[in-house]
Amino acid sequence: MKTNILFALLILLCIGSNPSQAQKTFDYTLNTDEGNVVVHILGHASLMFEWNNQNIYVDPYSSICDFSSMPKADLILISHENNDHFDQKAINLIKKDSTLMIYTATCKQANAFAGSDTTMANGDSINIDGLPIKAIAAYNIVKSKHVKGVGNGYVISFANRHVYIAGDTEFIPEMSNLGTIDLAFLGYSSLNMTLDMFVEAVKTIMPTIVVPYHYDNSNISSLVNAIDDVRILTEAIQPSGCIQLCDPNCTLAVTVDHGILSCNQTTKNDQLFIFSILGRKLYSEKITINTSFDVSQLTPGLYILRVKKEDKILSVKFMVKD
């Protein structure tokens, strides 16, 4: 397995490869009773999991990431045959002689993998060296783009933790039978889920953590604000302190002194929000006169301040100390 430091350098290639993409890349560590899973959100529907000295990719897509310097794949999962999910260029850059491909029948018909492969239909299960994987239906009901029975989502069980990767799908009845889900990746776009569908899916699945992915919606903050009972991870975790909707220069500045937070960009009628670093909304207030706020009740740590104005949203991290 590549070291985390090396991978952090490599992941910068994905961050900079296509800056016009709405979705940003970031990492998350999922703890299990058999060690950690390092999860790399690469943009669009592309994911990578580091687990027990294995590199597991899902839907690698070369338009959003330079895979030429990425670690070679031990396992690649493909959700369906569309070229932004089943991308031969990306696959060729990360495959090795021992790479195993798991994909759908239509993928194999379109371009069969030259190495070891396994096709999975909706409902199929497989165990790869102690890694249980189940194929879940992925399809549209309202839209007609993705037909039932063709594409897959996947539930991967990393020891005692269960990760659901929805693939291209709307909210579907099959989501009510997934069992315990610790981390869910749900698509948020014109061909996946609308905001209402996404919220309904979260309420149905009730994952511990949800990550919106494969989205073309610029208004990601509306989705974050709509999720109350489940932790939501977004690109707000980026080291820059700016989310996608931040103004270009990230001009919002914050100071915290003796439990009092002050910011330089708040004016009357702005809406102020405070989020945990994992994206959970903790506080909101419409600004009337005051531009300083008591945050002394917050546990010491890192938080996100977001100020919604009429024409833009500003966002920046701030620290609460002991």
Residue 13 pLDDT exceeds 70: no
Q: What is the mean pLDDT of residues 243-247?
A: 34
- 94, 73 contact by CB (below 8 A): yes
Topology of the domain covering 254-320: Immunoglobulin-like (2.60.40)
What is the pTM assigned to this prediction? 0.70
Q: What was the pLDDT predicted at 247? A: 37
Per DSSP, the residues of 67-93 read GGGSPPPSEEE---SSTTTS-HHHHHH
In whole angstroms, give the CA distance from residue 312 to residue 232: 22
Helix spans in 33-162 (H): 88-94, 105-111
Q: What was the pLDDT predicted at 253? A: 64
Q: What was the pLDDT predicted at 251? A: 56
Structure tokens belonging to residue 270: 């702005």
CB atoms within 10 A of CB 4: 13
Q: What is the mean pLDDT of residues 17-27?
A: 52
In whole angstroms, give the CA distance from residue 152 to residue 145: 14
Q: What was the pLDDT predicted at 296? A: 74
Residues contacting residue 29 through CB under 8 Å, at least 6 positions apart? 36, 37, 38, 39
Domain with CATH 2.60.40.3080 in the chain: 254-320
In whole angstroms, give the CA distance from residue 153 to residue 17: 26
Q: What was the pLDDT predicted at 14? A: 57
Q: What was the pLDDT predicted at 290? A: 61
Structure tokens belonging to residue 184: 């869910």
In whole angstroms, give the CA distance from residue 312 to residue 145: 33
Domain with CATH 3.60.15.10 in the chain: 4-237
3-class SS of residue 175: helix
Residues contacting residue 91 through CB under 8 Å, at least 6 positions apart? 60, 76, 101, 113
Structure tokens belonging to residue 10: 């490599």
Residues pairing with 168 in the sheet: none
In whole angstroms, give the CA distance from residue 273 to residue 82: 38
Q: In 3-state terms, the chain is what percent helix, strand and coil (to 5)?
A: 20, 35, 45
- 191, 146 contact by CB (below 8 A): yes
In whole angstroms, give the CA distance from residue 215 to residue 234: 11
Q: What was the pLDDT predicted at 92? A: 96
Residue 301 pLDDT exceeds 80: no
Residue 248 pLDDT exceeds 70: no
Q: What is the mean pLDDT of residues 136-141?
A: 97
Residue 9 pLDDT exceeds 90: no
Q: What was the pLDDT predicted at 316? A: 74
Higher local confidence (pLDDT), 65 or 238:
65
pLDDT in tens, 148-172: 999 999 999 999 999 999 999 999 9
Domain 4-237 belongs in CATH node 3.60.15.10: yes
Residue 283 pLDDT exceeds 60: yes
Predicted confidence band at 1 (pLDDT cuts at 50, 70, 90)? very low
CB atoms within 10 A of CB 222: 10
In whole angstroms, give the CA distance from residue 215 to residue 245: 14
Q: What was the pLDDT predicted at 276? A: 76
Residue 3 pLDDT exceeds 50: no
Residue environment code for 223-246, b if the CB has 16+ CB neighbours within 10 A, otherwise e: bbbebeebebbbbbbbeebbbbbb
Residue 311 pLDDT exceeds 90: no
Across the chain, what does the average pLDDT equal? Answer: 82
Residue 15 pLDDT exceeds 60: no
pLDDT in tens, 255-280: 777 677 777 666 777 888 887 766 67
- 172, 146 contact by CB (below 8 A): no
Q: What is the mean pLDDT of residues 9-34?
A: 61
Q: What was the pLDDT predicted at 24? A: 58
Higher local confidence (pLDDT), 254 or 228:
228
Report the Cα–Cα distance between both ends of the chain, in Å, rounded: 37
> Starting at the edge strand that comes first in sequence, how are the strands of the sheet with 35-43 ordered?
26-32, 35-43, 46-51, 54-58, 75-77, 100-103, 116-119
